[in-house]
Chains A and B, each alone.
Chain A
Amino acid sequence: EQLVESGGDLVQPGGSLRLSCAASGFTFSSYWMNWVRQVPGKGLEGVANIKQDGSEKYYVDSVKGRFTISRDNAKNSLYLQMNSLRAEDTAVYYCARRGTTGDWVASWGQGTLVTVSS
């Protein structure tokens, strides 16, 4: 099983960025998927998650209205569109698969770094 994120970059405050996650080694369309972030040297925060068919999406309050999670099951891919970025969004963003029987993170990608700075 593998999750590979891409798209992290240095972006100015107010800018936009789209993260991608390529999944392999498991039936992607059968699982809820998540984005989790970690400020360097700090703790972990669940950012957003999405149901298997994309019909349900949830966001942490700090990103509501600015971030959009989506998926393409035909391409085994997960996305995070990030708009109106702020300095406090600077973090490593992990793509993560939900567990089979519960909402714990069962599998993690290697992460991609997003830096918001002028």
Chain B
Amino acid sequence: DIQMTQSPSSVSASVGDRVTITCRASQGISSWLAWHQQKPGKAPKLLIYAASSLQSGVPSRFSGSGSGTDFTLTISSLQPEDFATYYCQQANSFPFTFGPGTKVDIK
């Protein structure tokens, strides 16, 4: 199985800050990577797919980059509604696996 890691595990930030989250795959996955956002008590929500494609309806302050084994999710200007946990997911092979999550909370 492909193992996914994320860093940092948590980040404290203020509204307006630029936040960057990194995801690494244990083997190359080309661009078969997605990013999901989850708020407490809610189901996850797809933000980014194919490493850099923005899901319909997702604000443009979210962006993704990377290929192979190293990927990045960037929030250009953090908004109050962005405080949540973010998970990367590899879609290269089953079982599709998720990173352990990065919690973004208020500084």
Contacts and interface: CB of A to CB of B under 8 A. Distances in A.
Interface residues of A, number: 23
A110 interface: yes
A43 B95 contact: no
Interface stretch (B13-21, B42-50, B73-81): B42-50
Contacts, number: 71
B45 A104 contact: no
B94 A46 contact: yes
B94 A103 contact: yes
A61 B46 CA distance: 25
Please provide the 10 A-B residue pairs with the shortest distance between their CB atoms, ordered closest to farther: A104-B34, A103-B91, A108-B43, A44-B98, A60-B95, A104-B91, A58-B94, A46-B96, A46-B95, A102-B91
Interface of B: 1, 32-34, 36, 42-46, 49-50, 55, 87, 89, 91-92, 94-101
